[in-house]
Structure 1
Amino acid sequence: MPSMRSIRGSVRSPVRLAALGGALVAFDVVFVAVAYWLGHLTVGAVVTAFDYEITGLLVDALRFETLPSVEALAVGTVLTLVVQSRFGYRQSASALPEVGDVDASGDPSPADAGADAETDSSPDDAPDRDSIEQAIATRDEMERRLEVRATALAHVADMAPPEVRVIGSETPNSFVIGRPGEQLLVATTALLERLDDDQLDAVLAHELAHLKNGDAFVMTAASFLPSVTRRVNERLVEYFRALLPRVESDRDWSDVGYSHHFAMTMLIVGPATLVASTALYVAGGACYRLLSRIREFRADEAAVAISGSPAALAGALETLSGPQPSPSTDLRTARTGVRELCILPHAVGDGGDAERDDVVARARRRCQDLIGRVLPSSHPPVERRVERLRAGERDRRS
């Protein structure tokens, strides 16, 4: 069993944590500046839409004469950090499938299927009810196993045990999210099925290291802005989609009080916001992925200090990095903002336009593919991580 001193030395890294926080603050400053300018542009566009003779605010914004002062940036950045800290955890937690969601195979979850079974009591439904009850029992058993092992490892690492949750997924993966007073460790059913006890302990130790390091909190907060800008981008695309002939839209925009004033405002603000939100999403995603990438090696080292077995973690990484099912089976398990938290970047999907074939959907898929190629990888290569762990195992034996 490793000593407590080695665990603390491997887990804590104040300089590295400060660097993570500094990168987050720097991006927040940029976000506040862009949001401040877009706010002035929107106000100017609204005023102009109602009175064409009052164009001062709009002209000033278009000339970039309404950029924030240092004081406004400071106050806005502090407020943004508070919002991230408070709602980043909630947003990440809400991305997880609840009891009533659809499972990875596309069938109703136990809760939904059970409700259907109660309303239709035909004999043909009996096998479905039996399979639902069995699935619930299996997941409960997995969650108990996960909780016992995570609690034991948390005591070794001298930290409070996190809350645990098992989610149904065909892709083996795990991650943690956290903020002061709330910590959650998530594992998929496939991970618990594929790993033996030693390998599972090593993976759980890796996740606990993220919580102990404090980078789980930083990453959970950092996930907020990329997700927000992505949602803004999606809403704007849906609005402009509705204006195109013969293009399917998910929303009737007449419920927002559509008028020529609104149309004029969107004609001015919409394209600028779309460009800005896309740029912020790419920049935020790059920053977020780099944060994710640089934290993995340290978590691997701390996991070895906690679990005491480099070979077990190396074996777990090799097992988990094997062939995975199509990402489309796990769209709800690890969207953008969660993938970067996972031990491996699997089970990521982006539903939206996946099944559409209109001009907007095709353009979005090309754009997403391009962004995926441009952005840095969110994790170091598994081969490098395994090589370092194997080298550590050889050093321990020599």
Structure 2
Amino acid sequence: MTKETLATDPVANLSALVRCASVTPADGGALGALEAMLVPLGFSVERVTFSDDDTADVENLYARLGSAEPHLMFAGHTDVVPPGDVAAWSKPPFEAAIVDDMMIGRGTVDMKGGIAAFVAACASYIAENGPPKGSISFLITGDEEGPSINGTEKLLKHADAKGEVWQGAIVGEPTNPEAMGDMIKIGRRGSLSGIITVHGVQGHVAYPHLADNPIRAIVAFCNALLDTPFDHGTDTFPATNLEITSIDVGNPSVNVIPSKATAAFNVRFNDRWDAESLQMDIHNRLDQAAERLRSGTERPPVDFDITWKERPSPSFLTRDETLIAAMQQAVESVTGRTPKLSTTGGTSDARFIKDYCPVVEFGLVGQTMHMVDERVALSDLRTLTQIYRQFLDRWFA
């Protein structure tokens, strides 16, 4: 097998992936395109579909090269968010058009570019060194941009049940805020969402004594959640932050007191908290606010409840110095920059992987992800490939 037959060109790899319209949960041929790149490199490939009630079936891919340790996992997703108004794009979102050293297309940054670069890095490594003295696996889902039910979490359990063990993992999500070499993610904040519902009594605004306006309580509850900080951050995490994301009374009339009011919120929390302790703190804040509303009045107790939405995501921090140092040194070697070790941003599939092995995240610049004309500089794509290749050299040294 010659170097020319291997998938060493990240631009060609990415073009093949972007041309697959894999809008979550549809595969669109993306996993087949990836399999076609990996099989000639010597990877054994398994594609498995998972199902669950009330969610779409999702196909996923697990590929492995080698049988020895150390075993490195590269994790990511081929599914993308919808392109939105296609007419607003300067080029068709699934054409992979190249304009002025930029490839335009949905998924170029988030995160088919990371997959394309890692495939190219593996191909380059194999062409020069042969198979690694260890193992490399790809754990790729089609469910990251969806509900994340039939994707990475189940694929990890499936692989673990078959005896797969990993010593480290890279998630190829876009991590750099402005330029390649800015940031490595070594952990993530947790996420908790909920909806508060205050039940009142509907009535005429001219006769408030015959009604109970729930807006008074929902405003007090929002203030109780926002006014006092949950904490001031830690050495490795920013401060826990709660945002009210919606307030609604469903009332089209200006002279009717509504019967209920709701407020939705999301909290991104650091490692001072887990979901249970944070839920307790939020309940306590609301109970105290409800008591203050009643204090010195004849009002009845506030009738309210909280619905916790979806599954909370825990915070985590990777402390594996070997994995972190290998990525940090690779970034510095290629870019000349010292990347910040960060726990900022949203959640990712790393929250599932951390239960199986140490994990870091490093990928492209994320400024255009999910936008119209999502795009990647070809120079950044090649830089990322060089960084991944440097990492492989260090990891298997």
Higher share in strand: 2
Higher share in helix: 1
Q: Same fold (TM over 0.5)?
A: no
Highest relative contact order (Cα 8 Å, sep 6+), 1 or 2? Answer: 2
> Which interval holds the TM-score relative to the shorter structure?
under 0.3
Q: TM-score, normalised by structure 2?
A: 0.26
Q: TM-score, normalised by structure 1?
A: 0.26
